[in-house]
């Protein structure tokens, strides 16, 4: 059975050769690899440094991160994940980490996809909401390019108090870009029912045509073991295996340790708790991600 991990975070220092070796050790056939978070976006905020002030704060936007976003760092992160992907493009699907407040972000997305062959965008709502107007140019560009966005959704253990921007209901706005495929990670835990309800709304917007439903659910953990069975049971029953993707949520170096554990636990739930047939299991571990990235 082929296994595609749809949720892996680059650290910015790994090589493509290392990533392939770790994938082999983990028993993974393919991964979706998110570009590293650019350095200028991850350093602690120093209020005494005027060069690190976020212009959104200066203009009165509440709750900004206080970071100065640089195009140079954005470009470096994109170039790194593209270089890793180039070693094994059939096995590593590189994604651009997009911060909408970074200068030149739309142009860098277009460069990363058209010139470097990357497959789409990863985003974490961090003191911006999915419906904010500053996102519209990114949505427009990706819809035009036919490439997807993978969003963080649900409670967030980093980025300060930004979980209030990651509620799954906030992503309902994506229905206004009906040809833009997107996924919500972690089944939006702890708001898993809300995530599944949003899928229902998106499905209704597509007139229940499965080929036009633009939303997928990235089931990488976030749901602890105590919630996992219930969340997967509901998601399979309501959304269907063809829109549920398997994910690990770790770095490439940690795949050999973490991926087999996640595969084993989810396979046990699907086979022994839910009684899923083999074709649906294979859809979960491979086919749904393949459909997500299909042009």
Structure tokens at 260: 């087999």
pLDDT tens digit sequence for 167-222: 999 999 999 999 999 999 999 999 999 999 999 999 999 999 999 999 999 999 98
Q: According to the model, what pLDDT value does residue 67 have?
A: 61
Q: What are the structural domain ranges in the chain?
A: 4-293
CA 107, CA 293: separation in Å to the nearest integer?
Answer: 21
Cβ contacts of 203 within 8 Å, gap of 6 or more: 213, 215
Percent of the chain with pLDDT over 70: 90
Confidence of residue 45 (pLDDT cuts 50, 70, 90): very low
Fold classification of 4-293 is TIM Barrel (3.20.20)
Does residue 64 have a pLDDT over 80?
A: no
pTM of the model: 0.91
**How far from 54 is each of 8, 60, 128, 267, CA to CA, in Å?**
28, 10, 13, 45
Q: Is 101 helix (H, G, I), strand (E, B) or coil?
A: coil
Confidence of residue 158 (pLDDT cuts 50, 70, 90): confident
Percent of the chain with pLDDT over 90: 84
**258, 252 in Cβ contact below 8 A?**
no
Confidence of residue 66 (pLDDT cuts 50, 70, 90): low
């Amino acid at each position: 059975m082929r296994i595609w991990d749809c949720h892996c975070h680059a650290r910015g220092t790994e090589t493509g050769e290392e990533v392939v070796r770790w994938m082999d050790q983990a028993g993974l056939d393919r991964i979706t690899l998110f570009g590293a978070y650019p350095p200028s976006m991850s350093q602690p905020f120093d209020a005494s440094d005027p060069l690190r002030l976020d212009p959104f704060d200066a203009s009165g936007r509440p709750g900004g991160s206080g970071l100065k976003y640089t195009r140079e760092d954005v470009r470096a992160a994109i170039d790194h994940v593209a270089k890793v992907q180039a070693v094994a493009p059939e096995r590593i699907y590189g994604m651009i980490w997009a911060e909408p407040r970074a200068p030149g972000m739309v142009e860098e997305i277009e460069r990363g996809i058209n010139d470097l062959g990357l497959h789409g965008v990863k985003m974490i709502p961090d003191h911006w909401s999915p419906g904010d107007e500053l996102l519209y140019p990114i949505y427009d560009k990706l819809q035009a390019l036919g490439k997807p966005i993978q969003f963080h959704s649900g409670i967030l253990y980093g980025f300060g108090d930004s979980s209030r921007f990651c509620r799954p209901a906030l992503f309902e706005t994506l229905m206004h870009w009906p040809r833009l495929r997107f996924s919500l990670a972690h089944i939006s835990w702890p708001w898993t029912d809300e995530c599944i309800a949003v899928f229902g709304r998106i499905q209704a917007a597509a007139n229940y045509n499965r080929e036009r439903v633009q939303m997928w659910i990235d089931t990488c953990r976030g749901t602890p073991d105590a919630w996992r069975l219930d969340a997967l049971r509901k998601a399979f029953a309501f959304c269907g295996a063809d829109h549920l993707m398997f994910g690990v949520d770790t770095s490439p170096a940690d795949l050999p340790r973490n991926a087999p554990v996640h595969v084993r636990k989810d396979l046990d739930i699907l086979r022994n708790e839910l009684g899923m047939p083999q074709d649906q299991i294979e859809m979960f571990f491979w086919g749904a991600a393949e459909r997500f990235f299909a042009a």
